[in-house]
Amino acid sequence: MPQADITNSRTRSNLAHSYGPPQRLFTVIPGIPIKQAKAQASKLMDCARYLNHTGVMLGDHRMVAASHHLNTMVSALLDHLEDELPSLPESY
């Protein structure tokens, strides 16, 4: 049986308006040293590792899924560091 789309165009436009355009969650800001950004990324990776380990041990699939999302976000941050800022000195 086909599902009906219960949202109308007015609801969709309100959602788009209230949230605005998508923005990066993790990004590098000029003036913050790359070493500090990498240290923060490392802390986030430790959190993801803990979430994954604990989620597997407890059988909590939400924790495992959260760890995968966090890993993806940290990976995007590290890619941003490597791809867009290769010419900056390490102390930047």
Give 21-33 pLDDT, tens digit per residue. 666 666 777 787 8
What is the structure's pLDDT at 32?
Answer: 79
Is residue 6 over pLDDT 80?
no
Q: Which residues contact 78 (CB under 8 A, 6 or more apart)?
A: 38, 41
Give yes or no for a contact between 64 and 55, defined as CB atoms under 8 angstroms apart: yes
